[in-house]
Amino acid sequence: MTYGQISMLLGRRISAQYVGFAMHSCPKDVPWHRVVNASGGCSTDRLPGDSVGYQRILLELEGVQFGANGKLPVERYRWSPKKSSSSQERNNRRSLNSGN
């Protein structure tokens, strides 16, 4: 998942940069390391006090493979939440009402 993707899921009420800031302050049980930038890079290397490469190590321990450019293929690893059943029901009703 990317910072921008989280921003979109929140209705773009906050920027992708602010998502990154919030992720840095999240509780210990939140898998912050699974959020990368839009190009598949680890943005946490730039944060003061964090070990360079730590996010990548955590992802590699989970089986994520990085390219020679140091980035992961976002399309391969991107997680997208499933629509809720209520959301699917609304879409189905719209389709029925529109005659599709």
| Global pTM value | 0.72
Residue owning tokens 């730590």: 54
| Secondary structure letter of residue 34 according to DSSP | G
Half-sphere exposure of 2 toward its Cβ, with a 13 Å CA cutoff?
A: 18
Q: Can you give the pLDDT at residue 95?
A: 47
Check the CA dihedral 71-26-10-78 and report its sign: positive
Taking 80 as the threshold, does the pLDDT of residue 96 lie above it? no
Taking 80 as the threshold, does the pLDDT of residue 22 lie above it? yes
In this predicted model, what pLDDT tens digit does every residue of 58-83 receive, in sequence order?
999 999 999 999 999 999 998 888 77
